[in-house]
A and B are shown apart, each in its own frame.
Chain A
Amino acid sequence: MTPFKPVLLEAVGVPDGHTLASYRGRGGYAPLEATLAQKQPNDVVEMVKASGLRGRGGAGFSTGLKWTFLPKDHPGPIYLCVNADESEPGTFNNRILMEDDPHQVLEGTILSSFATRASTAYLYLRYEYPRSWHRLQAAIDECYAAGLLGRNILGSGFSLDIYLHRGAAAYICGEETGLIESLEGKRAWPRIKPPFPAIEGVFKKPTVVNNIETMACVAQIARRGVDWFKSIGVPADPNNPRDPGSYGPKLYCLSGHVEKPGCYEAPLGITLRQLVDQHGGGVWKGRRAKAAIPGGISMGLFTEAEFDTPLDFAGPGKVGCLGLGTAAVVVIDDQTSIVDFLHNSCRFFAHESCGQCTPCREGTSWSLRILERIRAGRGRLKDLDILLELGTTMGMMPGSTICGLADGAAWPIKNAINKFRGEFEDFIKRTNPAGWMVTDPVPALTIVGAH
C-alpha cells in the first residue's frame, strides 16, 4: 500500500502556509476560477453528490443531498452558515484547518455558496478561537483584495460576502438550529424541526449549515476530483442499500492518555488501535488502555477490546456507540476510574443543556447529582439502574427532546454502565459498605452547582 499523504493538512508546518500566495502555490483557487468560468451551480452540487461526501460535523449526512433540499428557483436570499462552533470535548480539527490553512476553508465555502446560490455566508466561530478569528479575517481580507469575494467575483456575475460571527462559549450553538437562533441575536435554543433549515433557516430564509472540515473537503474534491475522493475510505456495503459508504480522508483528533496527542489525517476506516499505535505513539507511560471515546464525548465509549473497530461512519455503531461523531478519539488508561470519567461527562452536559426540554434539563442535572453522590461514597447499586433509565429515555432517538445534545449526554451513561458495570458496582460497594444495597430514596447531596 502506498503511504497515505495528508491533503487536508498539507499546509501544516509550511512557512506562511496560511497566506493566499502559499495557498495558490499549492494549486488553490484554480478550481474555483475554473468552476466560475465554466460551470453551473448544479454541476457543483452533482460533483459533491457523486463524491459521496458526508458532513464532518457529527451527523454524517450527505452534503450534496442536503443542498438539494433547498427550494428550486428561490428568489433569495439563501444563506450558508459555516459551523465553526467546534465545542465537542476532544475535538480540535476545525481549529487546525482555520489556523493553518484558512484559504482551503474559504475556497470550499465560496464553491459551496456558488452551488447553493447563497450570496452571504456567515462563519459562526466559537469565542475561544481568537487565533482562528484573526487568521480567517486576514484571509477574507486577502480574498476581497484579490477579487475572490465581493461583487461579481472574477467577472462571473456571482457575488458573495463572507462574515465572521463570534459565539459566546455555549456548546449548544454548534447544533445547527441553535446556531441559527444565536446568529439571529437570540438565546441559542434549538428549533423544533421541521421546518428544516433548508426550507426556513436563518432570518426565515433557506439555509445550509455545514462544518468547516466539510468545506475543506469540497475544496479538495474540486481540485482533485470525485474519483480521487472515492478512492479513499470505505465503500458502501453492497448488502446494505441504506449504507452510503464512508469516502475520503478524515481528520482524527487524538488526545488523552497517548504519547503524541495531535490531529492526524487518515483514510476513513482506520481502526482506533491503528490510530493510537501508528500516530499517537501508543498509550502514554507504557500503560494499557482501559477505554476510549471514539468521536467526541457524545459518542460513548469503546472498551479496549473494541479498539479494532474501524472509525468510519458505520463502525462505532456496531459496538453500541452513537456514531463516528467528530472522530475525536480520547484514550483513557487503565489507572483511570470510569466513575470519574462519567462524572466529567455528566458535568459537561448538565452545564451545556439549554434547558428547553424537560428530559434533557432534568436528566442531565440529575445524572450529575447522582454521580456526585456516588463519588462522595454514598452510591447505591440502584443508582445504576436509575442512570440507565435516564440514559435510555432522554434524547431525540427515544423521541423525548428537540435536539441531539440529550442523546450525546445519554450515550456515555449507557456505554459506561453497560460496558463497565462491574467497576461501578465495586466502587459503590467499596465506598458505601453500609448503604450500597439501600433502595429507598436517599437525600441528595447539596450540589455545588452545575454552572
Chain B
Amino acid sequence: MSVKESTQKSALLASQARITPAEYIQNYIKRVSSGDLGSIPIILGLLLIAVIFQWQNENFLTARNFVNLIVQMAGITTIAYGVVFVLLLGEIDLSIGYVSAVAAVTMTLLLREPSGWPWYAAMGLALLAVAGIGLFQGLIVTRFQVPSFVVTLAGLLAWNGVVLIMIGGAGTVIIQDKVIIGIANYFLPAVWGWIIAVAAVGGFAVVQVRHVLNRQRHNLPVTPMVIVIAQIVGLAVLSGIVVYVANQDRGVPFVGVILLVFLAGLSFLATRTPFGRYVYAVGGNKEAARRAGIPVERIRVIVFMISSVMAGFGGIILASRLRSVDTAAGGGNLLLNSIAAAVIGGTSLFGGSGRVSSAVLGALVIASVENGMGLLGLSSGVKFVVTGLVLLIAVLVDALSRQSRSQSGLA
C-alpha cells in the first residue's frame, strides 16, 4: 500500500512538473481548438476594423487619429472596468451612465465659485458621493433581494433627475481648473512616454519572472522561461510601437496612463487577492460561496460600490475631455457602450468569467468603430447599427465557443 502510494504520489506531481515550450504551445492550441478562444476573436476583429477603415479612409491609421482614439475610449473604458466586476457577479448596473454624470457635475459645481474648492477636494467629494450611491444601491439589492436590474433601472431614472436638478437653469457649466482639464487634454513629453513604457514593461517582467521563480522554489509546474520571455518581449514591442506612434503626434495622452494604472490595479484586485477570488466564486456558484463562509452579501455591496466609483472616474474623464458638463451628461449611449465594451471584450453576462482587460479591448473596438465611421462621415444612425452588430457578433462568438467547449467537456 505505502509503496503503491508513493509511486502514485510522484505520478500526479510528475505529470505536471516539467512542461516543455512545445508542450505549452500544444496545450494552448488544444485549448483554442476546443473552443476556449480567449482574446483571439477580438484581436482579429480589431485588425479587421483597422483594415476596413484604413482602406476606406487613409486617415484612420495615422498618429493623430491613434492618439485621438486613446482619448476617445478613456471614459468608456474606465466605466467598463467597473462593469466587469458587476458582470462577474452575474449582476447588472444600469445606473452607471448617470452616476458618472453625478460625479462630474458634483465636482464641477464644487470647483466653480462660490465654493471654489481645490481640484482634489472637489474630485474626492464627488467620488465619495458616488461611492455612497453604490453602497445604497448595493444594500437595497442585497437586503431586500431585489434584482439589481430593477434597482439600478430606478437609479438610472433618479440619478438622471438629480443631474438635471443640480445643473438647473445653467444648461452648461464650464470647467476652468487646469488639473482637471489636464486629465484628458494633457499629453506626456516624448521622454516621459518612454519612461512610462519602460516602467510598465519592467514591472510586468519583474512580476512574471518572480512568479515563475517562486513556483520553481515550491517545485510546482511552471510556464517555460522561453514563453515568459516571449510574452515580455511582445509587450515591450507593443508598448514601443504605441509610444513611438503617439510621439509622432502630441505624445502619449496622460489619460492613457490612467487607464494603464487602473488596469494594473484592478487586475491585481481581481486575480491576486481573496476579494477577487470571492467575486469569481459568488458569480460561479453563489451557494458554494455561501457554504464556504464567504460573506456573499458584503462582496456584492462592495462590487456595486466599485461599479459606481469607476463610473465616477469615467464621468470625470469625460467632463475633462469636454471641459464642461451639461444637461446631456451621462446620457446618450454611454451606459450601453460601457456594458457592451465589457461584453465585447469577453466578459460573460452570466457571471463568473471575464477579465478586467476585456474592458480595454471592448472599448477599443467600440471607439474604433465610432471613430472610423466619423472619419467616413457616416450618420450616427449607421454608427449605432454597426455597433449593435459588433455586440451581437461578440455575444454569438461567446455562445458558440461555450457550446463547443461543453461538447469537448470544458464547459
Q: Do A and B bind each other?
A: no
Residues on B lying within 8 angstroms of A by beta carbon are none
